[in-house]
Amino acid sequence: MSERPSRSERLSVQAYSKADKLPLRLVLDNIRSGQNVGACFRSADAFRIEGLDLCGITCHPPHRDILKSALGASDHVSWRAHDDALLAIRELQEAGWKVAAVEQAVHSTPLHAWQPQSHERWALVLGNEVRGVSQEVLNACDLAVEMPQYGVKQSINVSVCAGVVLWQAALHMRHGA
């Protein structure tokens, strides 16, 4: 088992900005909670992804609730604001990104079966905490990926979901699992 890097071995903000990023983006569509957004920034930093697209009512830095949970990650993780997720998705697709909604849907791919490749670029759409990803946005995506759940609620916090999905992507894209 490898040891955890010491603080002196961790990337500085300057080194982070120059380091290769995992070709992943999180598209946050109408996320109500700034703390959820901040937690997504922390996960984006942890997996060193290309960045976040903050859409609709999703707040953006320097919102105090983001700062509270991002713990500084929003200072160096790249992000863009968009009025509308649908337009952001179309823009990403035109630039060659594959777009997957992370949502429970009729023809979704179970998360454990989704195997993104290191040469692919993926944008992952996470929807509103109550309504999820809208049907219109879901229809515009190339794929729906679903995290199987076994409880009564069939629901998981959006920022927790982001971390799990990023981990699955990193397993395949960085480690060739």
What sign for the dihedral angle of Cα 17, 31, 117, 87? negative
CA dist., res. 21 & res. 11, Å (int): 13
In a domain, 11, yes or no: no
pLDDT digits (tens, 9 = 90+) for 13-47: 998 899 999 999 999 999 999 999 999 999 999 99
Count of structural domains, the chain = 1
**CA-closest candidate to residue 120, choices 139, 99, 141:** 99
pLDDT digits (tens, 9 = 90+) for 138-151: 999 999 999 999 99
Which residue segment(s) compose the domain that 161 sits in?
Answer: 18-147+156-173
pLDDT at 1 over 70: no
Contact 123, 137 (CB under 8 A): no
pLDDT digits (tens, 9 = 90+) for 112-137: 999 999 999 999 999 999 999 999 99
Q: Which pLDDT band, with edges at 50, 70 and 90, does 173 fall under?
A: very high
Residue of 122 and 7 predicted with greater confidence: 122
* pTM of structure: 0.93
CA dist., res. 162 & res. 62, Å (int): 21
In a domain, 2, yes or no: no
> CATH code at 32?
3.40.1280.10
Distances (CA, A) of 94 to 28, 29, 57: 19, 19, 24
Strands (E), the chain: 22-29, 49-55, 79-82, 98-102, 109-110, 122-126, 143-146
